[in-house]
């Protein structure tokens, strides 16, 4: 080391490095070397000896000129900090942070600065084993320098997928203010303060495959943090972000929420039952190109309560929430925010009051689907003054839905509308919901509003969106909305849509790259803080086994598919499997109910106890177990392990053999599997079996074990013995005799 003068960590006095010397910051975990000639830097992870390349930042001025920011004079070195100034007066600082070891990289903008790409073509990766980015796009993706096609993506803060092809295209923002880079198995976490920061990813494609990242800061955003983590991957990256999320007030766990709202416990293991009651598709819209409006009733209020009672009494579904969509005046979803009286076609207020009572009497949560962001010209409250205005003064359009062209209500106004006496206060008085859903709130991007009546910055918009969620949650106890990102976690209890990235619903529309590899980054940070569900349009039919594997793997609950009216009483109204679906009908086997109900019963028996057990546990690991990524495993807490097999080849793990669509959940108090073999028992007819301790003791010593058999050979190993199961359920108590194993 020839630059000992610049070893500044232990130096109190300021020194100046001459151009020939390399200013350096260093501790046990990292070393940062700055190149005074061009402002580039190299960050060495001393635990792995891997270096990260950081070219000079790029400054964009208000007149749109851009240039690379290199030091115009000396680099000052003092007290664990390197500082220099670029030609335009922008000052850059690199500061060593001791615990955890990191570099804070910041700038003080010059007078003409519009934006600084503090990371610019940075952290380059070329093809190689364990070379990839971990990007917080929705739940998360693993992006490697693979594929022939080049692409460039800009990811703004907390901007989702929109579920619509708007005039601006499909946005692909980040759900968490972080990303990770992994090079030869050495991990680096990058974090920043949203919302004025855009993440960029550029890929050159064939033949010189190269992936780089950028981070553009503007307005109040002035710093990022680079945290080398030593050996690791996306799991370690997510774990290193968790304390940062906690510091920012984003990680509010279920345990903490439950202290304020004890009813949250009733959401653990709760299925999302969401019937669409009355839908009205306006004439000449994409879903109804005819001349006449189409009105359809799938359930009256009375029938919706019948559905809940059927699931509770016949299928044993003791935890669920019934959230009614299309209950409002005019049906789904046209007259928002003028929702009352409840649709007379369905029985009106009087029948909805009865429905609410019947559902709550089951021990279920009862909720309604509402919306304070979308408005249509048909709405009695329609007024241009409610709408977000773009910079040019025009009204901001939403998507084109069943109600035709939708317009976006400014978030400040939406909160006021929700509080009108005829909205939430009256809904509460009439129907007393115990859970509530406000559509699109957690999905829409952050908007700047230029209306002179209610101007909003992006930060203001975030504030009012949070306020609306907090208000609705305060009124009803539990709250959820569509899609979701990390700012929603402290003010929401469920995010309906994020799981649809894992299930692959419409993935052709919302993929980030040529081939997204979904990884549970969001789950690794927030699993014990918020429940994820699939989108209301993504409900699994009985021929969809992979949806269930996705939910087993992440320990989340489904949004179930079902028929209309009293479908379970009429075999003709049951699911009719399409040709060739037989192998995919695996979870609908059992023959004790119709196909829809048998599928719900079998999967609920696995997922609900699993989710109850893990709702307070962080996800602590995720791995792909085969090179083709057809087998995945997760861990929750310290001793709950899950393996799922999507692929056609049987997979052996410990003493289990999993066929295609097989899974294994193992923990001290819960075991569930669909397997060819488990613990020495071979199943010639592969079995779905759940063993659950009901006295809190481990299965090995429990005096009260419930065994559920969905289908397949009726026997299972318990306490070293083979237990026969004749029907679908068996309780093994201390007094039960079990046949000794042969």
Nearer to Zn ion, 326 or 414 (CB): 414
We find the least distance from the C-beta atom of residue 394 to Zn ion, in angstroms, to be 13
Of 625, 624, 664, 627, nearest to 644 by C-alpha is 664
**Which sign, positive or negative, has the C-alpha torsion 405, 409, 415, 419?**
negative
Q: At closest approach, how far in Å is the CB of 410 from Zn ion?
A: 3
Radius of gyration of the chain (CA): 28
Q: In whole angstroms, how close is the CB of 448 to Zn ion at the nearest point?
A: 9
Residue 356, preceding bond cis, omega within 30 degrees? no
Of residues 471 and 560, the one with the C-beta less far from Zn ion = 471
Q: Out of 85, 212, 281, 451, which residue is the one contacting Zn ion (CB under 5 A)?
A: 451
Query: What character string, x for contact with Zn ion (CB under 5 A) and - otherwise, covers 391-420?
Result: -------------------x----------
Position 725 contacts Zn ion (CB under 5 A): no
Closest contact distance (angstroms) between CB of 377 and Zn ion is: 19
Report the b/e string of 162-198 with b at 16+ CB within 10 A: bbeeeeeeeebbbbbbbbbbbbeebbbbbbbbbbbbb
356 vs 451, which CB is nearer to Zn ion?
Answer: 451
Classify 384 as helix, strand or coil.
Answer: helix
- Per the CB < 8 A criterion, the answer to whether 510 and 170 are in contact is yes
Helices 458-476 and 424-431 pack at an angle, to 10 degrees, of: 20
Q: Give the C-alpha distances (Å, rounded to integers) separating 178 from 53, 125, 137, 166.
A: 18, 18, 10, 26
Quick check: 454 binds Zn ion (CB under 5 A)?
Answer: yes
**Considering the complex, what minimum distance in angstroms separates the CB of residue 450 from Zn ion?**
8
Site for Zn ion in 60-99 (CB under 5 A): none
CB of 162 to Zn ion, least distance (A): 19
Burial class (CB in 10 A: 0-12, 13-18, 19+), 290: exposed
Going from the C-alpha of 630 to that of each of 17, 417, 624, 633, the distances in angstroms are 54, 48, 8, 10
Q: How far apart are CA 501 and CA 519, in angstroms?
A: 10
**Beta carbon nearer to Zn ion, 449 or 725:** 449
Q: 141 Cβ partners below 8 Å, 6+ apart?
A: 134, 135, 512, 513, 516, 517, 518, 519
Q: Could you tell me which residues come within 8 angstroms of residue 201 by beta carbon, excluding any fewer than 6 positions away?
A: 133, 135, 143, 151, 152, 153, 155, 211, 212, 213, 214
Q: Specify the stretch interacting with Zn ion by CB under 5 A; choose among 48-56, 173-181, 222-230, 456-464.
A: 456-464
Cα dihedral 423, 428, 434, 438 in deg (nearest 10): 0
- Strand 435-438 to strand 404-408: parallel, antiparallel, or no bridges (unpaired)? unpaired
Stretch touching Zn ion by CB under 5 A, among 142-150, 293-301, 445-453, 503-511: 445-453
Specify whether the backbone of 720 is left (phi greater than 0), alpha (psi in -120 to 50) or beta.
left
Residue 343 or 413: which CB sits closer to Zn ion? 413
519 burial type by CB count under 10 A (0-12 exposed, 13-18 middle, 19+ buried): buried
| Closest CB 452 distance from Zn ion, rounded Å | 9
- For the bound state, the minimum distance from the C-beta of residue 419 to Zn ion, rounded and expressed in Å, comes to 16
Shortest Å, Cβ 165 to Zn ion: 24
Residue 59 or 410 having the CB closest to Zn ion: 410
Nearer of residues 464 and 575 to Zn ion, judged by Cβ: 464
Cβ closest to Zn ion, residue 440 vs residue 451: 451
CB under 5 A: which stretch of 203-211, 453-461, 506-514, 707-715 binds Zn ion?
A: 453-461
Q: Which is nearer to Zn ion, 166 or 457 (CB)?
A: 457
Long-range residue pairs from 19-23, CB within 8 A, at least 24 positions apart, any chain: 23/75, 23/77, 23/82
Q: Could you say whether residue 155 binds Zn ion (CB under 5 A)? A: no
Binding window for Zn ion (CB under 5 A); candidates: 101-109, 110-118, 447-455, 695-703: 447-455
Distances (CA, A) of 579 to 134, 464, 612: 39, 50, 36
Q: How far is the CB of 396 from Zn ion (least distance, A)?
A: 9
449 binds Zn ion (CB under 5 A): yes
CB of 442 to Zn ion, least distance (A): 19
Size of the site for Zn ion (CB under 5 A): 5
The interface mask with Zn ion, positions 356-395, x = CB under 5 A, is ----------------------------------------
Min dist CB 465 to Zn ion, Å, is 12
Give the binding range for Zn ion (CB under 5 A) out of 29-37, 360-368, 448-456, 482-490: 448-456
Per-residue mark of binding to Zn ion, 323-342 (x: CB under 5 A): --------------------
Residue 468 is a binding residue for Zn ion (CB under 5 A) = no
**Chain residues in the site for Zn ion (CB under 5 A):** 410, 449, 451, 454, 456
């Amino acid at each position: 080391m020839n630059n000992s003068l610049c070893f500044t960590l232990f130096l109190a006095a300021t020194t100046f490095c001459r151009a020939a010397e390399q200013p350096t910051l260093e501790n046990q975990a990292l070393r940062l070397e700055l190149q005074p000639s061009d402002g580039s830097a190299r960050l060495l992870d001393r635990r792995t000896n891997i270096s990260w390349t950081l070219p000079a930042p790029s400054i964009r001025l208000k007149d749109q000129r851009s240039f690379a920011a290199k030091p115009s004079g000396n680099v000052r070195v003092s007290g664990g900090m390197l500082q220099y100034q670029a030609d335009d007066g922008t000052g850059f600082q690199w500061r060593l942070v001791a615990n955890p070891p990191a570099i804070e990289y910041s700038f003080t903008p010059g007078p003409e600065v519009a934006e600084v790409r503090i990371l610019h073509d940075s952290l380059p990766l070329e093809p190689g084993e364990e070379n990839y980015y971990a990007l917080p796009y929705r739940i998360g993706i693993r992006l490697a320098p693979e594929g022939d096609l080049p692409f460039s993506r800009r990811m703004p803060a907390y901007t989702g997928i929109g579920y619509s092809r708007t005039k601006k295209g499909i946005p692909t923002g980040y759900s968490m203010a972080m990303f990770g880079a992994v090079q030869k198995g050495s991990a680096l976490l990058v974090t920043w303060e949203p919302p004025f920061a855009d993440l960029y990813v550029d890929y050159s494609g064939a033949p010189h495959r190269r992936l780089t990242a950028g981070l553009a800061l503007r307005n109040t955003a002035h710093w990022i943090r680079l945290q080398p983590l030593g050996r690791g991957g996306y799991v370690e990256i997510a774990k290193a972000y968790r304390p940062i999320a906690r510091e920012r007030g984003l990680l509010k766990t279920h345990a903490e929420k439950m202290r304020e709202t004890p009813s949250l416990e009733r959401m653990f293991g709760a299925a999302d039952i969401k019937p669409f009651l009355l839908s009205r598709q306006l004439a000449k819209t994409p879903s109804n190109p005819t001349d006449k409006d189409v009105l359809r009733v799938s359930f009256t209020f009375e029938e919706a309560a019948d559905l809940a009672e059927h699931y509770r009494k016949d299928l044993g579904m003791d935890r669920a929430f019934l959230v009614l969509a299309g209950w409002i005046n005019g049906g789904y979803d046209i007259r928002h925010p003028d929702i009352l009286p409840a649709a007379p076609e369905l029985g009106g207020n009087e029948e909805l009051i009865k429905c609410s009572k019947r559902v709550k009497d089951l021990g279920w949560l009862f909720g309604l689907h509402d919306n304070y962001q979308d408005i249509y010209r048909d709405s009695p409250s329609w007024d241009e003054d409610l709408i977000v205005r773009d910079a040019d003064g025009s009204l901001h359009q939403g998507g084109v839905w069943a109600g035709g062209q939708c317009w976006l209500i400014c978030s400040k106004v939406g909160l006021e509308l929700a509080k009108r006496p005829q909205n939430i206060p009256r809904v509460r008085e009439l129907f007393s919901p115990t859970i509530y859903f406000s559509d699109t709130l957690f999905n829409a991007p952050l908007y700047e509003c230029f209306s002179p009546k209610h101007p909003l910055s992006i930060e203001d918009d975030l504030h009012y969106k949070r306020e609306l969620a907090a208000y609705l949650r305060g009124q009803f106890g539990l709250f959820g909305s569509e899609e979701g990102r990390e700012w929603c976690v402290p003010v929401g209890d469920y995010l309906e849509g994020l799981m649809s990235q894992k299930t692959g619903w419409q993935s052709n529309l919302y993929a980030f790259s040529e081939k997204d590899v979904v990884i549970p980054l969001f789950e690794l940070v927030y699993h014990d803080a918020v429940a994820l569900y699939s989108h209301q349009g993504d409900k699994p039919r009985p021929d969809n086994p992979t949806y269930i594997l996705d939910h087993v793997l992440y320990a989340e609950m489904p949004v179930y598919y079902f028929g209309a009216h009293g479908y379970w009483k009429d075999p003709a109204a049951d699911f009719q499997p399409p040709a060739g679906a037989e192998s995919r009908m695996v979870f609908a086997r059992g023959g004790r109910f119709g196909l829809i109900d048998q599928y719900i019963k079998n999967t609920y028996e696995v997922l609900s106890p699993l989710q109850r057990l893990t709702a307070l546990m962080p996800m602590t690991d995720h791995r792909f177990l085969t090179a083709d990524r057809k087998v995945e495993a997760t861990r929750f807490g310290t001793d709950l392990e899950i393996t799922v097999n999507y692929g056609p080849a049987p997979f052996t793990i410990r003493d289990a053999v999993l066929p295609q669509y097989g899974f294994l959940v193992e923990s001290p108090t819960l075991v569930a599997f669909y397997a060819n073999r488990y613990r020495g028992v071979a199943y010639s007819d592969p079995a779905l079996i759940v063993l659950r301790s009901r006295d809190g003791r481990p299965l090995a010593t429990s005096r009260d074990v419930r065994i559920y058999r969905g289908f397949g050979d009726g026997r299972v190993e318990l306490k070293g013995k083979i237990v026969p199961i004749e029907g679908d359920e068996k309780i093994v108590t201390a007094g039960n005799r079990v046949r000794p194993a042969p």
